[in-house]
Amino acid sequence: MLTALILICSASIAPHPDDCTRYNASTIIRVPTEFGSPATCFMQAQAYLAQSPEGQELELDRDARIKLVCVRSEIVAGIPVQRR
């Protein structure tokens, strides 16, 4: 099973989304659902972000870089649902 992580980084730390990682993200949002395929994981993570308050705030924040990562669920078992 896969879990989606939404990583939000500052452009000054991660000028390109590929530079945004779990270790330098200012916010990590763990989508509270598991997925069976990578395509479903990415699509549902996008929808989750669009509906979340953080997603609404990001529309105004030009400095934010967003990266969606789908990883095996057992790898992220210890990551909290949301970090700010």
Q: How far apart are CA 1 and CA 8, in angstroms?
A: 23
pTM of the model: 0.81
Q: How confident is the model at residue 84 (pLDDT cuts 50, 70, 90)?
A: very low
Is it the case that residue 79 has pLDDT exceeding 70? no
Tens of pLDDT, residue by residue over 7-55, are 989 888 888 878 999 889 988 889 989 999 999 999 999 999 988 887 7
pLDDT of residue 83: 45
Helix (H, G, I), strand (E, B) or coil at 82: strand
Q: What is the DSSP string of 16-80?
A: SGGG--TTT-SEEEEEEEEESSHHHHHHHHHHHHHHSHHHHHHTT-TTEEEEEEEEETTTSTTS-
